[in-house]
Amino acid sequence: MRILGIDPGYGITGFGLIDAQRGKYTLLNCGAITTPPNSDFSWRLGVIYNDMTQLLQTAQPEAVAIEELFFGHNVTTGINVAQARGVILLAIQQTGVPVYEYKPMQVKQSVVGYGNATKHQVQDMTRRLLNLSAMPKPDDAADAVAIALCHARSSTSMLARVRGGQPG
């Protein structure tokens, strides 16, 4: 199964495309969609939407896994990320590819086996699962790869099979 993981943001949106076959994972591509700071915000959303549409056409994923928002202390940043996430979800919805959403703790649990794992632990386990010599850069791309791995590992679990392939 070809899975596209997305770590949404308005400055940097990370993406990671993996192939998952019978418990073996291969990194196919990863990177980031970036928008310049101090640009008009609506223009930035347009760039994200257009680049995401092009990425989806090129990558041809069978599933997209995206991180759910976690609102920390900066609500303004969270609102802007939510708007970026909205245009990303719109681009995905228009392709008809199924979308699966995961909380940060679910990604950590699935990849590391511990829901309170550190970012370093998630990156190290991601690197090991994909047999990589180094983690992808930037960190947003590495996070997106971990989100794709979370879906790959969650969608093949016994519980997901009982639920008809719908994890969570």
Catalytic residue among 7, 51, 101, 143: 7
Annotated active-site residue 51? The verdict is: no
Exposed (0-12), middle (13-18) or buried (19+): which is 91, by Cβ within 10 Å?
buried
Catalytic residue among 51, 101, 140, 143: 140
Distance (Å, rounded) from C-alpha 162 to C-alpha 168? 11
Half-sphere exposure of residue 60: CA atoms within 13 angstroms, side-chain side: 1
Annotated active-site residue 40? The verdict is: no
Catalytic residue among 51, 67, 101, 143: 67
Annotated active-site residue 62? The verdict is: no
CA-wise closest residue to 113 among 128, 135, 99, 131? 128
Distance (Å, rounded) from C-alpha 148 to C-alpha 107? 9
Annotated catalytic residues are 7, 67, 140
